[in-house]
Amino acid sequence: MTDVKIKPKSVDGTEQGGAEKSRQEKASTVEVAPPPDVIEPSQKLTPEEAEQARKRYLLRRFWISARRYWGRSGDRFAWPCSIGLLMMICMNVGFQYGINRWNRGIFDAIERHDAGTVYYLSAVFVPLVLGSVALVTAQVYVRMMIQRRWRSWLTKAVITRWLANGRYYQLNLIGGDHKNPEARLSEDLRIATEAPVDFIAGVIAAFLSASTFIVVLWTIGGALTLPVAGSTITIPGFLVVTAVLYAVITSTVIAVIGRHFVQVSEVKNQVEAELRYTLTRVRENGESIALLGGEEEERSDLDKTFSNVLRQWALLARQHMRTTFVSHGSMLIAPVVPLLLCAPKFLAGGMTLGEVMQAASAFAIVQTAFGWLVDNYPRLADWNACARRVASLMMSLDGLEHAEQSDVLGRIRHGETKGNAILNLNDLAVSLDDGTAVVKETQVEIAPGERVLVAGESGSGKSTLVRAIAGLWPWGHGSVDFHGDRRLFMLPQRPYIPSGTLRRAVAYPRAADSWTPEEIKAALAKVGLDYLSEKIEEEAPWDQILSGGEKQRLAFARLLLHTPDIIVLDEATSALDEKSQDRMMGMVIDELPAATIISVAHRAELEAFHSRKITLERREGGAKLVSDIDLVPRKGRRNLILRVLDNRR
């Protein structure tokens, strides 16, 4: 059983206005700005151009929310950690330069057979290495701390919006690219926040290293004079020119052969998420599959889904092979190039051995800096795909939030009743998110203590109407008004059983210690689950252990503990036999005699436990309320709908 959005009070007595305010205050700690307006691609664009425009907007949408981590509503440690990381990167480049100078000094000393200088530089090398290692280690710690805190902040921001106003449920009712939100909130969001920190730190380190050691190459290498056709050509800074040309060639090649990397990686992530979703569904519905003998059909579906995963992995492997061919070849060739270029000047006496080794070391560092894209292009593509998947979920939440703030599609209003009525449906109409009518205008007034049965054929909109009453279904018009100080509790057809102890399952949605063990056991005994009383502190997969009937009995035990004023039963006894159903309904009436009950059910036997019956009939353009009769006659009751129907007859 799941607790629904309560209007105006929840089962624990918290006023809806206060709960809403609390949610908004919590949300404001992570994201205060309203959702951005969606920019639709121009109608003049071709389908391919429109798709590219959509993908660019998805990346922009991701950064709109993600960059707020460094804003006023973000983490107070964001800027100190970021500045500290930048300072450590700069200091590490300084240590790299020191080691580069050490290379020149040690090889010059070896060339001169200067033992004293060799011993001195050997001693100097130790603090250089220790300092560099300490800086790199601290840099890794700070970088991962930024990643961890950023992920935590953004995950909380998205989950807060996902859980607000029942949007996690409403996403199942609307179209859009938001399938498998659990994968987007876990794996995709992890990669989307980890990779940018690595990229920015890598780019800064590469830029500083390249800038520093280009100066070293220019200073050491000088100009190279080459004889050409009886004359000479002088190339100033020939080592720098070579390093730049080498990097441009390798980067261009990797960009060309890896141009499909982003698309392949995005599809791979999608099919991986679909495989996880399929496996999760098999686990969650294991009992039904086993009873029906559906293993072969499920195996066929899993094989088909896994084949898609293998196919995309094969495509991704080809992309990795191509980029590895270039990057590994570049890694092998790069150290040799400066040695070959410096050899003529060294042999001619224009360079010392130390200068040659310093130039070779500097060239390798510059080449590594310039080749950063070559080494990180696959991960950049993976981040691109993950950030878009997270942004797609954000956009779907944006759409729901915009709909909550406007009346373009129509929103069901919730307010308070006037007079003695505990619940009023005032011209209530329920529709889909595209405006298609499900239930036409309905006018119903329910008095305190009434027990109303909502009947009708399957597909007539009964459950949808109940969800609208509970506040889970937002689309339509009219209003649902509750008495100001009443609490509502809903029992769906499939009760939700949380993980943990049986005591927690019975107390849900309150904490497990909200009632004493004796009170929990007494509630279980009243619903016929006394044989589970000794297991209330036992942690087990109760969702899998309990049968459908036992779950529905447990839901009634919750009801007895929470003692709400308004009870909504949506096929809440469908898994029970007739005798057990009668016992549950009779017990609720005896234990909660003042409670108002609204039931959705097909069984005619339930009429005996209700005082009133409302019938919906499916029609073109939406279901319509066709009768409202008293099952238990009462004096002075004015049934307006029945009078209208009599007049029509």
Enter the DSSP assignment of 422: S
Number of Cβ within 10 Å of residue 216's Cβ equals 22
- CA separation for the pair 581, 576 (Å, rounded): 6
Looking at per-residue pLDDT, the higher value among 32 and 557 belongs to 557
Phi/psi for 638 (5° steps) reads: -100, 105
Q: Distance between CA atoms of 161 and 173, rounded to whole angstroms? A: 17
Q: Picking from 294-298, 376-380, 446-450, 528-532, which range would have the lowest pLDDT averaged per residue?
A: 376-380
Work out the mean pLDDT of the chain and round it to a whole number.
Answer: 82
Banded model confidence at residue 257, pLDDT cuts 50, 70, 90: confident
pLDDT in tens, 85-123: 999 999 999 999 999 889 889 988 988 888 999 999 999
> Could you report the per-residue pLDDT of 526-535, keeping only the tens digit for each?
999 999 999 9
10 Å CB burial of residue 33 (0-12, 13-18, 19+) is exposed
Predicted confidence band of residue 26 (pLDDT cuts 50, 70, 90): very low
Q: Are 392 and 416 in contact (CB under 8 A)?
A: no
User: If you average pLDDT over each of 119-133, 432-446, 479-493, 627-641, which comes out highest?
Assistant: 119-133
The gap between the terminal CA atoms of the chain, to the nearest Å, is 42
Q: At 2, is the pLDDT very low, low, confident or very high (cuts 50, 70, 90)? A: very low
pLDDT above 90 coverage of the chain, percent? 25
Asked whether the predicted pLDDT for residue 645 surpasses 50, the reply is no
Residues comprising the chain, all counted: 649
| Long-range pairs of 309-312 with CB within 8 A, sequence gap ≥ 24 | 309/268, 309/271, 309/272, 309/275, 312/264, 312/267, 312/268, 312/271
- Report the range out of 42-56, 399-413, 506-520 with the highest average pLDDT: 506-520
Q: Which of 375-389, 503-517, 633-647 has the lowest mean pLDDT?
A: 633-647
> Rounded to whole angstroms, how far apart are CA atoms 270 and 647?
59
Question: Cα separation of 584 and 574, whole Å?
Answer: 12
What's the token pair of residue 194? 């980890």
Q: Which is more confidently placed, 25 or 619?
A: 619
Q: Look at residue 178 in the predicted model and tell me its pLDDT.
A: 82
CA 407 vs. chain centroid, Å, equals: 27
∠ CA 209-193-250, rounded to 5°: 40
Task: Say what angle helices 336-347 and 295-333 make with each other, to 10 degrees.
Answer: 0
| pTM exceeding the 0.85 threshold for the entire prediction | no
570 in helix, strand or coil?
strand
CB 458 within 8 A of CB 449: no
pLDDT band for 69, please (50, 70, 90 cuts): very high
Which one, of 600, 622, 623, 624, lies nearest residue 613 by Cα? 600
Instruction: Confirm if 467 and 166 have CB atoms less than 8 A apart.
Output: no
Higher pLDDT, 399 or 98: 98
Q: How far apart are CA 465 and CA 435, in angstroms?
A: 15
243-252, 354-363, 375-384, 545-554: which has the highest mean pLDDT? 545-554
Domains of the chain (ranges, CATH numbers)? 55-223+236-255+349-405 (no CATH), 413-497+546-630 (3.40.50.300)
How far apart are alpha carbons 73 and 28 in whole angstroms? 7
Q: How confident is the model at residue 43 (pLDDT cuts 50, 70, 90)?
A: low
> What pLDDT is attached to residue 123?
92
Alpha helices in 70-114 (DSSP H): 78-112
* Separation CA 265–CA 380 (nearest Å): 10
Q: What pLDDT was estimated at residue 243?
A: 83
